[in-house]
């Protein structure tokens, strides 16, 4: 029996106390679903999707500001895919576009600069949403815009960082037994960041990539580490202990830590990044976007923190489906509700 088959057998036949492991990465959420990993585990091993999908944790005030800007004369909002369909308190960017708003989807961040250069008399607002993974991308956009003398491109930022939200989850719930540490984020931060978190929380962390074998290996490690702090790195091909220092330098040039509002969790101190004051001319009005409105009956707040599984939300699969999503967790392909729905998983 090879190592992977041994791990599969151990995970399938596990018969100890119930264990709950949280992943805090939207790509992990999707990969777990795509690889059918829940079906390979003992009923006593539970995987929980935490606040790792950037679209899912964006508060409605940010969406409202973007829709307002898209409907402003001579202004175009630029964004990546899933955000277009997320509802604000009144409408989504897709709704705004249907009502005459100017919204364009980007495939490459550098296209934002090209568009601004090609239309110097038009204003462009780039929806800068994400975690440590994408913040260096926005730093690169700013650096190149400044070098090119582009002044008609601004950022509307909603940038989050992982450490403080993980601390928040640990302080507000006592039923997490370990974390699958986010792979993409770890490339930038390094695995040492989670070593510190593990020591603080007393919980094990396992850094994983996005292949089924790597995720199963990480889950098995967490089972073996139950009750013990520590960090295991199973994504060494991309993640070092210290991470990408050059990327962090670029981020620190343009951005600084700040308090940030999270969908369903409120404001978490020191959990975000914002443009430094010396670059305020490139900000499209990101400050004070804290309000958050849940659609009636939506339980995204409880799903995001692992309090309930997606199918325990009263709207799941009824009023809320991928075709007609009410909550952000059902909109994004990295959202827990979306992946729960398409994989056919249900709580029994």
Percent above pLDDT 90 for the chain: 90
- Give the model's pLDDT for residue 167: 95
Pick from 203-217, 312-326, 334-348: least confident: 334-348
- Give the model's pLDDT for residue 264: 86
Q: Kindly report the average pLDDT of the chain as a whole number.
A: 94
- Give the model's pLDDT for residue 326: 87
- Give the model's pLDDT for residue 1: 65
- Give the model's pLDDT for residue 205: 98
- Give the model's pLDDT for residue 344: 74
Q: Where does the pLDDT of residue 347 fall: very low under 50, low under 70, confident under 90, or very high at 90 and above?
A: very low
CATH class for the domain made up of 1-297 = alpha beta
272, 259 contact by CB (below 8 A)? yes
- Give the model's pLDDT for residue 81: 79
Does the pLDDT of residue 269 top 80, yes or no? yes
Burial level of 72, CB count in 10 A (0-12/13-18/19+)? middle
Closest CA to 165 of 286, 27, 25, 276: 25
- Give the model's pLDDT for residue 343: 86
- Give the model's pLDDT for residue 174: 82
Does the pLDDT of residue 195 top 70, yes or no? yes
- Give the model's pLDDT for residue 295: 84
- Tens-place pLDDT, residues 137-180: 999 999 999 999 999 999 999 999 999 999 999 998 888 999 99
Q: Where does the pLDDT of residue 348 fall: very low under 50, low under 70, confident under 90, or very high at 90 and above?
A: very low
| Overall average pLDDT of the 64-88 stretch | 95
- Which residues in the chain are classed under CATH 3.40.50.11740? 1-297
| Overall average pLDDT of the 197-223 stretch | 96
The pTM for the full model equals 0.93
């Amino acid at each position: 029996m090879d190592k992977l088959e041994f791990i599969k057998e151990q995970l399938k036949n596990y018969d100890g106390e119930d264990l709950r492991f949280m992943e805090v990465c939207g790509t992990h959420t999707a990969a777990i679903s795509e690889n059918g990993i829940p079906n390979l585990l003992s009923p006593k091993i539970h995987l929980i999707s935490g606040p790792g999908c950037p679209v899912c944790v964006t508060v409605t005030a940010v969406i409202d500001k973007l829709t307002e800007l898209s409907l402003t004369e001579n202004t175009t909002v630029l964004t990546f895919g899933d955000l277009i369909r997320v509802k604000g308190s009144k409408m989504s960017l897709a709704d705004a576009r249907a009502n005459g708003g100017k919204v364009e989807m980007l495939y490459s961040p550098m296209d934002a600069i090209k568009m601004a250069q090609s239309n110097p008399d038009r204003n462009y607002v780039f929806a800068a949403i994400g975690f440590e993974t994408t913040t260096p991308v926005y730093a690169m956009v700013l650096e190149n815009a400044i070098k090119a003398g582009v002044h008609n491109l601004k950022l509307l930022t909603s940038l989050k960082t992982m450490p403080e939200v993980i601390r928040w989850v640990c302080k507000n719930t006592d039923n997490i037994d370990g974390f699958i540490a986010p792979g993409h984020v770890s490339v930038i931060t390094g695995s040492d960041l989670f070593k510190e978190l593990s020591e603080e929380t007393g919980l094990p962390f396992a850094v994983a990539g996005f292949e089924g074998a790597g995720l199963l290996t990480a889950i098995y490690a967490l089972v073996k580490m139950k009750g013990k702090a520590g960090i295991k790195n199973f994504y060494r091909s991309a993640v070092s202990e210290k991470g990408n220092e050059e990327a962090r330098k670029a981020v620190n040039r343009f951005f600084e830590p700040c308090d940030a509002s999270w969908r369903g969790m409120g404001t978490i101190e020191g959990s975000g990044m914002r443009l430094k004051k010396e670059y305020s001319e490139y900000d499209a009005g990101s400050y004070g976007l804290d309000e958050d409105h849940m659609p009636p009956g939506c339980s995204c707040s409880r799903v995001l923190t692992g309090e309930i599984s997606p199918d325990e939300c009263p709207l799941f699969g009824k009023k809320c489906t991928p075709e007609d999503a009410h909550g952000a967790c059902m909109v994004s392909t990295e959202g827990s509700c979306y992946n729960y729905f398409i994989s056919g998983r249900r709580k029994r």
